[in-house]
Amino acid sequence: MKIGCHLPVYGPAATRATILGFARRMESLGFDSLWVSDHVVIPWTIRSRYPYSPTGDFPLPPATPFLEPLTTLSVVAGATERIALGTTVLVLAHRHPVLLAKMLATLDQLSGGRVIVGAGVGWMKEEIELFGVDFRKRGAWSDEALRVLRACWRDPRPSFTGTFFRFDELGVEPKPVRGDIPIWIGGDTPAALRRVAELGDGWHAAFPTPQSLGE
């Protein structure tokens, strides 16, 4: 069994000193991985229901400091040597997939091949539509984004023709250390589980109880 832990990326603990001290300490104790969650903004008015709370309320107020995950992992990569670096989960619609592919491959190169991408479609309509993605189509958008990531990482001259993304042959370098980056799909809906089987390397089952995992 491998044990990971979540970096303190939000709230008063989200400081350079705490992040670096925490990361180095977890590595020295033998933990296998460090994880960061993803919110670019927290709207002052959220009508979307948070699916992981009985009340449906998002637990953080808008003025809460919340560090950007890939920037944070870049700092942590330079302060550690062995421990894996993961996202739990990266909301695909927050970033154009070609730019995201470049950022993740760069992080993977500079960390010596330690990146794991936990990825999902997201739940907050207000945040997703801020970045120009139709909330109702976010699943299909995310499926295409995952295919774009794979193409940028695996192909020497990636190109893509889809509904949401189209581009001719590009040079997208560097490639990940292992030629690819593992993608663990988050979510527990039927659509998410289909995405695990079709497009992922594993299931990022963040919230189910041990009892419910059997189903």
Q: What average pLDDT does range 109-131 have in this prediction?
A: 98
Q: Where are the alpha helices (DSSP H) in the chain?
A: 16-28, 69-79, 97-111, 125-130, 138-154, 190-199, 210-213
By C-alpha distance, which of 187, 133, 184 is closest to 163?
133
User: Looking at the predicted structure, is the pLDDT value of residue 70 above 80?
Assistant: yes
Backbone dihedral angles phi then psi of residue 21, each to the nearest 5 degrees: -65, -45
User: Helix 16-28 vs helix 69-79: angle between axes, to the nearest 10 degrees?
Assistant: 50
Q: How far apart are CA 114 and CA 85, in angstroms?
A: 6
206 against 5, higher pLDDT: 5
Instruction: Report the relative pairing of strands 166-167 and 160-161 from DSSP bridges.
Output: antiparallel
Q: What average pLDDT does range 59-78 have in this prediction?
A: 98
Q: Which pLDDT belongs to residue 212?
A: 81
pLDDT tens-digit readout, 35-46: 999 999 999 999
- 213 pLDDT band, cuts 50/70/90, is confident
- 33 pLDDT band, cuts 50/70/90, is very high
Q: What average pLDDT does range 167-179 have in this prediction?
A: 98
Q: Which domains does the chain have, with CATH numbers?
A: 4-205 (3.20.20.30)
pTM summary value: 0.96
